[in-house]
């Protein structure tokens, strides 16, 4: 008998996404969470944390373009960048395309995620395998790490899971306060901010917390097929630079590397929100 094996992530009690899988490449539990990496027919290899889709080989370019390039093309001179979470390495890979960046630090709480990504997701982990002198890895809790760093980073990217499990603290005001202090005077923070369609309540409190700390807070969107509803968002929180008013379109247009999702027009377009998404974060 030929078996059909399908993986389903439920997005609500009554809906979800389902994908046909061919094999399990890794399945194990760390101190923090359950990690699974499976082969799917439609999306290539897929990483799950506690049963939730984190990345797939086929659509990760969208998320990783969008968590990195809007901030790195808004800040005029991003030299030092910190990533909190992001143990798969996709975010670091995109940061490394920016020649102005001298040094990037990855602070991931779970060493198993880093190890298995280097093993099984090499297209994402290619810059965190220890061979790039511009990249430093720290296995640590993001909160503990930034508490020890002040006035140091141009950009901090929060590449977290949903606010359940180890990432809960990364959505709270106290954490944003620490991020603010760890940033230089003209620093920018980006955080993945869930689905405007399914996660209105999370967005409400997250953006309230961000506004309590940062003078400039905007939401931007991206289309990510394997995340809940396919409609995903990021928070742009900043001390001085505005993502549209301070955006140098020519610099983005003359970038020397290829991006399959991001471009200089989409940079502006991503900040235009449908009404229901605006309403989620209205002051
Ligand atoms: N981090 C965001 C994952 C959120 C997905 N949520 C879900 N499937 N319910 C992705 C990490 C990529 N570096």
Question: What is the C-alpha to C-alpha distance for residues 54 and 152, in angstroms, rounded to an integer?
Answer: 29
This prediction's pTM:
0.98
**Distance between Cα 221 and ligand 1 center (Å):** 14
Rounded to 10 degrees, what is the CA torsion of 181, 124, 12, 219?
40
Query: What distance, in Å, lies between the first and last C-alpha atoms of the chain?
Result: 57
Cβ(86) to ligand 1 under 6 A? Answer: yes
Average pLDDT estimate for 196-207:
98
Query: 82 and 107 in contact (C-beta within 8 Å)?
Result: yes
Q: Is the distance from the beta carbon of residue 232 to the nearest atom of ligand 1 less than 6 Å?
A: no
User: If we measure between CA atoms, which residue out of 266, 237, 93, 261 comes closest to residue 175?
Assistant: 237
Q: What is the pLDDT of residue 1?
A: 59
Q: Which atom of ligand 1 is nearest to the CA of 52?
A: 8
- Ligand 1 centroid–CA 105 distance in Å is 20
Taking alpha carbons only, the member of 12, 7, 85 closest to residue 46 is 7
pLDDT-wise least confident of 1-15, 139-153, 191-205: 1-15
For atom 13 of ligand 1, which residue has the closest CA?
A: 86
- Is the shortest distance between the CB of 87 and ligand 1 below 6 Å? no
Give the tens place of pLDDT for each residue, 208-243: 999 999 999 999 999 999 999 999 999 999 999 999
Sign of the torsion formed by the C-alpha atoms of 149, 116, 94 and 267 = negative
Q: Which of 124, 125, 109, 186 is nearest to 155 (CA)?
A: 186
- E-strand ranges in 135-278 read 135-139, 153-159, 183-192, 216-223, 231-238
Span 245-272, pLDDT tens digits: 999 999 999 999 999 999 999 999 999 9
Q: Would you list the domain boundaries of the chain?
A: 5-54, 60-280
Q: How far is the CA of 170 from the centre of ligand 1 (A)?
A: 14
Asked whether residue 158 carries a pLDDT value surpassing 80, the answer given is yes
Q: Is 46 helix (H, G, I), strand (E, B) or coil?
A: strand
Which CATH architecture group holds 5-54?
Roll (2.30)
pLDDT higher than 80, residue 2: no
Positions annotated as catalytic residues are: 159
C-alpha distances in Å from residue 171, one per residue of 110, 203, 208, 261, 264:
18, 9, 10, 26, 29
Ligand 1 atom nearest residue 88's Cα: 13
* Binding site membership of 227 for ligand 1 (Cβ less than 6 Å): yes
Q: Is the pLDDT of residue 140 over 80?
A: yes
Task: Compute the distance between CA of residue 228 and CA of residue 241 in angstroms, rounded to an integer.
Answer: 30
To the nearest whole number, what is the mean pLDDT of the chain? 97
Q: Cα-Cα-Cα-Cα dihedral of 235, 174, 166, 84, to 10°?
A: 50
CATH class of domain segment(s) 60-280: alpha beta
pLDDT value of residue 283: 86
> Ligand 1 pocket check: which of 121, 161, 194, 195 to mutate, most ligand atoms within 8 Å of Cβ?
161
Q: Is the CB of 125 under 6 A from ligand 1?
A: no
Q: Using a 6 Å cutoff on CB, does residue 228 contact ligand 1?
A: yes
What is the 8-class DSSP label of residue 170?
A: G
Q: What is the 3-state secondary structure (H, E, C) of 106-148?
A: EEECCHHHHHHHHHHCHHHHCCCCCCCCCEEEEECCHHHHHHC
Query: Taking a C-beta distance cutoff of 8 angstroms, is the pair 90, 9 a contact?
Result: no
Cβ–Cβ < 8 Å for 85, 33: no
* DSSP-derived 3-state class of residue 275: helix
pLDDT (0 to 100) of residue 25: 98
* Closest atom of ligand 1 relative to the 60 alpha carbon: 12
What is the rounded distance in angstroms from the CA atom of residue 172 to the CA atom of residue 218? 17
Query: Ligand 1: does its nearest atom lie under 6 Å from the Cβ of 68?
Result: no
Among protein residues, the one with the nearest Cα to ligand 1's atom 4 is 161
Q: Give yes or no for residue 61 CB within 6 A of ligand 1.
A: no
């Amino acid at each position: 008998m030929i078996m059909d094996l399908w993986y389903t992530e439920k997005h609500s009690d009554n809906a979800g996404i389902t994908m046909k899988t061919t094999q399990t490449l890794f399945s194990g539990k760390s101190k923090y969470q359950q990690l699974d990496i499976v082969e799917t027919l439609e999306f290539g290899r897929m990483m799950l944390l506690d049963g939730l889709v984190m990345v797939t080989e086929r659509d990760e370019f969208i998320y990783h373009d969008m968590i990195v390039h809007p901030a790195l093309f808004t800040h005029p001179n991003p030299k030092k960048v910190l990533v909190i979470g992001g143990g798969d390495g996709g975010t670091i890979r995109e940061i490394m395309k920016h020649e102005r960046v001298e040094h990037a630090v990855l602070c991931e709480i779970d060493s198993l995620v880093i190890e298995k990504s280097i093993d099984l997701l090499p297209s994402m982990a290619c810059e965190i395998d220890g061979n790039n002198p511009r990249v430093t890895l720290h296995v640590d809790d993001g909160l503990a790490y930034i508490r020890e760093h002040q006035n140091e980073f141009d950009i901090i990217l929060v590449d977290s899971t949903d606010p359940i499990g180890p990432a809960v603290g990364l959505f709270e005001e106290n954490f944003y306060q620490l991020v603010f202090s760890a940033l230089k005077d003209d620093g920018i923070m980006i955080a993945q901010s869930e689905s405007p369609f399914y996660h209105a309540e999370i967005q409400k409190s997250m953006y309230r917390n961000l506004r309590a700390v940062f003078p400039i807070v905007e939401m931007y969107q991206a289309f990510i097929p394997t995340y809940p509803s396919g409609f995903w968002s990021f928070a742009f929180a900043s001390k001085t630079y505005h993502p549209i008013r301070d955006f140098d379109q020519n610099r983005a247009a003359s970038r020397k590397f290829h991006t399959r999702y991001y471009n200089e027009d989409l940079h502006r377009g991503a900040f235009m929100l449908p009404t229901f998404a605006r309403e989620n974060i209205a002051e």
